[in-house]
């Protein structure tokens, strides 16, 4: 018989542990940390496992669902704004699928781990299974906020509470943007070996994934070929038109900056790099697309003429 009190206690401890790890490490967490998990009543509670739908031994129903960054399942956000999470395999009656279906019926909160690069995940919680489509072999997943965990045994979550659907769709949409941006950053830094493509600065905490075409533009997709790994200084300078990159991957400084006389930052971080080739990913398929660079370079020239 399902012990809701025990289940709520384990989930609450898992969410608290996860919040602590995010506070300490940031919201991109290593798989090794998540697989180790935490200890409750002398028993280890991993947060994820080899399979996407994961139930630790101390629980009766799943605690988390995971999307691998290069896995076999085509999980995506659908036109309804919700995450379409693939069944395990093709049998709707598989015990993992049955477990998620039961979690949906009981409206139990789970954690969603979104793989951004191999070995690194962004966590979103609480998430709820809100739909089941055996024909498409998918569950629909919505993200909610921490005020709606539904773990209070005195007043459990009302599945059809007023405003719940709209709130969840909005939070899921915001979460979708966050997941995509985190994935963009991690994939760009991985491609550039975690170093600034202009100056080779290598401290990841101070590196960004800069968009060549801004993400506010319809053409500004969060893809590695639309990105550059830049330190915070060069990212700001690139975004504000102080620096440009030609379509042949050569760095240029705005002409007026080459005439200025200032301190060592200007000399070493801008003037000395003028007409140097930028650092590129090892894989040619991940190099910035020349058409994107050409468009951004024209904007740089226009800003330079206006300065």
The residue among 264 and 103 whose pLDDT is bigger is: 103
Are residue 147 and residue 272 in the same domain, yes or no?
A: no
Tell me, what CATH number does 95's domain have?
2.30.280
pLDDT band of 69, cuts 50, 70, 90: confident
Are residue 247 and residue 167 in the same domain, yes or no?
A: no
Are residue 163 and residue 301 in the same domain, yes or no?
A: no
pLDDT band of 244, cuts 50, 70, 90: very high
The total of other beta-carbon atoms located within 10 Å of residue 113's CB is: 25
What distance in Å separates the CA atoms of residue 32 and residue 23, rounded to the nearest whole number? 17
Nearest residue to 16 via CA among 49, 43, 38 = 38
Nearest residue to 105 via CA among 67, 131, 137, 141 = 131
What distance in Å separates the CA atoms of residue 183 and residue 122, rounded to the nearest whole number? 8
Question: Of 137, 167, 187, which residue constitutes the final position of a domain?
Answer: 187
Helix H, strand E, coil C: the string for 48-59 is CCCCCEECCCCC
Most confident among 67-71, 152-156, 163-167, 288-292 (mean pLDDT): 288-292
pTM: 0.83
Are residue 90 and residue 230 in the same domain, yes or no?
A: no
> What is the per-residue pLDDT across 222-232, written as a single tens digit (0 to 9) for each?
899 999 999 99
Number of domains in the chain: 2
Q: pLDDT over 70 for what percent of the chain?
A: 95
Number of H helices, E strands in the chain: 8, 14
Say what the pLDDT of residue 262 is: 81
Q: Is the predicted pLDDT of residue 154 greater than 70, yes or no? A: no
Strands (E), 99-233: 110-117, 120-133, 138-143, 207-211, 227-231
What distance in Å separates the CA atoms of residue 30 and residue 120, rounded to the nearest whole number? 5
pLDDT band of 71, cuts 50, 70, 90: low
Mean per-residue pLDDT for 14-32?
95
For residue 295, give its domain range: 194-306
Q: Is the predicted pLDDT of residue 141 greater than 80, yes or no? A: yes
Query: What one-character DSSP code corresponds to residue 277?
Result: B
Are residue 175 and residue 68 in the same domain, yes or no?
A: yes
Nearest residue to 147 via CA among 169, 171, 123 = 171
Say what the pLDDT of residue 156 is: 54
What distance in Å separates the CA atoms of residue 198 and residue 270, rounded to the nearest whole number? 9
Beta pairing partners, 113: 66, 123
What distance in Å separates the CA atoms of residue 116 and residue 210, rounded to the nearest whole number? 17
Q: Is the predicted pLDDT of residue 191 greater than 90, yes or no? A: yes
Are residue 203 and residue 249 in the same domain, yes or no?
A: yes
Lowest mean pLDDT among 9-23, 87-101, 176-190, 232-246: 176-190
Mean pLDDT of the chain: 91
Mean per-residue pLDDT for 274-287?
97
Are residue 203 and residue 257 in the same domain, yes or no?
A: yes
pLDDT band of 218, cuts 50, 70, 90: confident
What distance in Å separates the CA atoms of residue 110 and residue 8, rounded to the nearest whole number? 11
Are residue 238 and residue 106 in the same domain, yes or no?
A: no
Are residue 149 and residue 212 in the same domain, yes or no?
A: no
Are residue 78 and residue 211 in the same domain, yes or no?
A: no
* H or E element in which residue 60 lies: none
Question: Of 187, 221, 238, which residue constitutes the final position of a domain?
Answer: 187
Nearest residue to 281 via CA among 212, 215, 228, 230 = 228
Nearest residue to 193 via CA among 224, 239, 214, 234 = 224
Are residue 101 and residue 243 in the same domain, yes or no?
A: no
Lowest mean pLDDT among 26-30, 225-229, 277-281: 26-30
> What is the per-residue pLDDT across 49-68, written as a single tens digit (0 to 9) for each?
999 999 999 999 999 999 98
The CA radius of gyration of the chain, in Å to the nearest whole number, is 23
pLDDT band of 155, cuts 50, 70, 90: low
Are residue 199 and residue 162 in the same domain, yes or no?
A: no
Q: Is the predicted pLDDT of residue 73 greater than 80, yes or no? A: no
Question: Of 187, 210, 226, which residue constitutes the final position of a domain?
Answer: 187
CA-based angle 53:55:57, to the nearest 5?
A: 155
Mean per-residue pLDDT for 195-201?
97
């Amino acid at each position: 018989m399902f012990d809701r009190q025990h289940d709520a206690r384990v989930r609450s401890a898992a969410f608290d542990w996860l919040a602590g790890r995010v506070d300490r490490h940031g919201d991109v967490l290593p798989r090794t940390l998540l697989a180790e998990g935490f200890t409750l009543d002398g028993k280890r509670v991993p947060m994820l496992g080899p399979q996407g739908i994961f139930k630790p031994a101390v629980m009766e129903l799943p605690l988390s669902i995971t999307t691998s960054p290069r896995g076999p399942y085509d999980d995506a956000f659908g036109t309804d704004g919700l995450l379409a999470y693939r069944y395990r395999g093709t049998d709707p009656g598989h015990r993992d699928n049955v477990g998620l279906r039961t979690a949906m019926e009981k409206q139990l909160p789970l954690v969603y781990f979104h793989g951004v690069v191999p070995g690194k995940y962004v966590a979103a919680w609480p998430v709820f299974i809100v739909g089941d489509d055996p024909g498409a072999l998918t569950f629909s997943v919505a993200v909610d906020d921490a005020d709606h965990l539904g773990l209070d045994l005195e007043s459990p979550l009302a599945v059809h509470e007023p405003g719940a659907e709209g709130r969840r769709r909005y939070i899921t949409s915001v979460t979708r943007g966050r997941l995509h941006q985190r994935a963009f950053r991690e994939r760009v830094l991985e491609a550039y070996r975690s170093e600034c493509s202009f100056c080779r600065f290598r401290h990841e905490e101070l590196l960004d994934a800069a968009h060549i075409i801004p993400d506010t533009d319809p053409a500004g997709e969060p893809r590695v070929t639309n990105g550059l790994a830049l330190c915070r200084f060069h990212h700001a300078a690139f975004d504000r038109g102080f620096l440009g990159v030609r379509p042949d991957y050569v760095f240029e400084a705005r002409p007026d900056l080459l005439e200025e006389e200032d301190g060592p930052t200007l000399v070493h971080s801008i003037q000395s790099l003028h007409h140097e080739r930028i650092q590129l990913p090892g894989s040619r398929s991940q190099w910035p697309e020349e058409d994107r660079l050409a468009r951004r370079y024209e904007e740089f020239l226009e800003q330079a003429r206006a300065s």
